[in-house]
Copies of this chain bind each other. A is one copy, B any other.
Amino acid sequence: MKGTLVSDVPQQPAPGSRITAVDTYDIRFPTSRELDGSDAMNPDPDYSAAYVVLRTDAEDQLEGHGFTFTIGRGNDVQVAAIDALRPQLLGRVVAELCTDPGSVSRDLIADSQLRWLGPEKGVMHMAIGAVVNAVWDLVAKRARKPLWQFLADAEPEWLVNQVDFRYIADVLSRDRALTLLQHGKKGAAERAATLRERGYPGYTTSPGWLGYSDEKLTRLAKQAVADGFTQIKLKVGADQADDIRRMRAARAAVGPDIRIAVDANQRWGVSEAVEWMEILAAYDPYWIEEPTSPDDILGHAQIRKALRTMKVATGEHVQNRIVFKQLLQAGAVDVLQIDAARVGGVNENLAILLLAAHYGVPVCPHAGGVGLCELVQHLSMFDFVALSGTTEDRVIEYVDHLHEHFEDPVHVVGGHYAAPTAPGFSAAMRSESIATYRYPDGAFWAADAAPQRAVSA
């Protein structure tokens, strides 16, 4: 663990190797037609990715892949935002990226003109996240390690330099972060072995979409338990009578020992959230997720204070480390839900994992969508091996959906995510999938539009 900044130095490229292309793709899957993914705020999502590939002139021909997840319309806006970052990326030296991937993150966030469009939130920040994640994908591939392992093997001194402490140093100093990472090194090898053997616990949202019938909910809930999951999740918040009926059906299907989380997807204000959940409390929900706006730190704190029999969770729409910091400061959440593709990428998620570790709050990532499981597993696995050191009360969301489009899809067995072994961030989408679902000119969409064109012609 001494000598070099990273414990395993990747094979260095020729000094001249640089980023030569930043290719972007608008990819959309027609998921709204099946009501997969339907919830109280998102009745008809078309799961989509604003996808980016960083290409270099290095001899190894390795690429960095990353994306922002969206739910359909506006995916083109997200692509435009990634395109706006291209001039900042072209020509960057690959060796420098490998030594300090955080340099890209810092430079992109510091672009004063683009910063005006956030700052550090929304479309522009998610675009930065897609690019930063693509950089880490490339870096881990060059190190010939899956990202979780690359991060877990990294020196604490190097890792802490990857974190931007601006606006969070009032609660988490660099020194404290370093101490946490150094502490995380103890027993890391044993935990890595455990992870490879048993995987990381998951929970499934597959039974709980609002668009599903009670029969389908019951069948899928039973299947989840049979598959080894110890926690499922139901979407709630559209209709109270429906929620009571569905919650009752789910509880009947899984019995008293399986955790049932519920997710309102920001549907309520503070008092509605409290009133609604006091009613559902009869069915022992494990957590209430996104009871209100992700921006409402003080609102979450009030809700948590009022609902003592269940946990309060949020994070998939939390815009950056600054809001996560305050959720922790205010005692507003019991469970912190990071998303791999909402904030500014791996560097900012490192900051958020450190904040959570500092406060001792468990991280249970948001996943599902397109490729979010593939990405976020790496962050939780790093956290287990080399930061928090535990999987207690920690689960990664799992939805069995669209994984077939990825080159290195997640493997969930017995309710556990198997540790990835392929180098990189598991972000690469299969080229056939890109060719089929590229919008609007991919094979699927072109064929889909054909009859309408015939009619309107």
Chain A 57-78 interface 0/1 with B at a Cβ cutoff of 8 Å (1 = within): 0000000000000111110111
Q: With a CB–CB cut-off of 8 A, which chain B residues contact A295?
A: 120-121, 167, 319-320, 322-323, 326
Output the least CB separation between A176 and chain B (Å): 14
Q: With a CB–CB cut-off of 8 A, which chain B residues contact A456?
A: none
Cβ of A299 < 8 Å from any Cβ of B? yes
A81 to B71, CA, bound (A): 15
A122 to B320, CA, bound (A): 12
Cβ of A119 < 8 Å from any Cβ of B? yes
A44 to B116, CA, bound (A): 12
Chain A 321-359 interface 0/1 with B at a Cβ cutoff of 8 Å (1 = within): 011011001100000000000000000000000000000
Cβ of A189 < 8 Å from any Cβ of B? no
Q: With a CB–CB cut-off of 8 A, which chain B residues contact A330?
A: 298
A122 touching B113 by the CB < 8 A rule?
Answer: no
Q: With a CB–CB cut-off of 8 A, which chain B residues contact A81?
A: 74, 77, 123
Output the least CB separation between A203 and chain B (Å): 22
Q: With a CB–CB cut-off of 8 A, which chain B residues contact A43?
A: 112
A80 to B293, CA, bound (A): 26
A293 and B322 in contact, given A77-B123, A115-B41, A124-B123 (Cβ under 8 angstroms): yes
A121 touching B121 by the CB < 8 A rule?
Answer: yes
Q: With a CB–CB cut-off of 8 A, which chain B residues contact A41?
A: 112, 115
Stoichiometry (number of copies): 2
A167 touching B293 by the CB < 8 A rule?
Answer: yes
A167 touching B73 by the CB < 8 A rule?
Answer: no
A113 and B298 in contact, given A76-B80, A77-B81, A270-B170 (Cβ under 8 angstroms): no
A73 and B77 in contact, given A115-B41, A119-B293 (Cβ under 8 angstroms): no
Closest B residue, CB atoms, query A167 = B293
A307 to B81, CA, bound (A): 39
Output the least CB separation between A199 and chain B (Å): 30
Q: With a CB–CB cut-off of 8 A, which chain B residues contact A326?
A: 295-299
Output the least CB separation between A98 and chain B (Å): 27
Select one of B73, B74, B113, B167 contacting A74, CB under 8 A: B113
Cβ of A42 < 8 Å from any Cβ of B? yes
Q: With a CB–CB cut-off of 8 A, which chain B residues contact A270?
A: 169-170
Chain A 284-315 interface 0/1 with B at a Cβ cutoff of 8 Å (1 = within): 00000000111111110010000000000000
Output the least CB separation between A378 and chain B (Å): 23
A118 to B117, CA, bound (A): 12
Chain A 93-136 interface 0/1 with B at a Cβ cutoff of 8 Å (1 = within): 00000000000000000011111111111111110000000000
B70 touching A76 by the CB < 8 A rule?
Answer: no
B121 touching A124 by the CB < 8 A rule?
Answer: no
Select one of B46, B71, B80, B170 contacting A299, CB under 8 A: B170
Q: With a CB–CB cut-off of 8 A, which chain B residues contact A302?
A: 170
Cβ of A2 < 8 Å from any Cβ of B? no
Cβ of A266 < 8 Å from any Cβ of B? yes
Cβ of A45 < 8 Å from any Cβ of B? yes
B112 touching A77 by the CB < 8 A rule?
Answer: no
5 A-B residue pairs with Cβ-Cβ distance under 8 Å, sorted by A, are A42-B116, A120-B293, A120-B295, A165-B269, A167-B295
Q: Which residues of A contact B (CB under 8 A)?
A: 41-46, 70-74, 76-78, 80-81, 84, 111-126, 165-170, 266, 269-271, 292-299, 302, 317, 319-320, 322-323, 325-326, 329-330
